[in-house]
């Protein structure tokens, strides 16, 4: 999947969650589903405390698998 994703132009979609707790729940759901994912935590050098989850990268993976977990989230 990774090579096909790379060759197709690395589509990215940015969605919004309502809270850090929701972001961490989505991260856990991705892990349980076996989707490649990575949570991004703030270094705490500006306004957020260190370790605050600010983003979640999911994929590369088939769009249907990601949409199953993120399909109800609004675009940012």
| pLDDT 10s digits, 14-71 | 999 999 999 999 999 999 999 999 999 999 999 999 999 999 999 988 899 999 999 9
Torsion of CA 67, 71, 75, 76, to 10 degrees: -80
CATH classification (class only), 2-70: alpha beta
* pLDDT on residue 5: 66
Is residue 6 pLDDT above 80, yes or no? no
- Tokens standing for 12? 């990215």
**Beta-ladder partners of 41:** 53
Other C-beta atoms within 10 Å of 41: how many? 14
């Amino acid at each position: 999947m990774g090579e096909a994703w790379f060759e197709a132009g690395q589509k990215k979609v940015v969605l919004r969650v309502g809270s850090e707790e929701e972001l961490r729940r989505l991260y856990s759901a991705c892990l349980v589903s076996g989707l490649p994912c990575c949570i991004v935590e703030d270094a705490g050098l500006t306004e957020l405390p260190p370790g605050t989850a600010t983003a979640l990268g999911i994929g590369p993976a088939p769009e249907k698998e990601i949409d199953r977990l993120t399909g109800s989230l609004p675009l940012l």
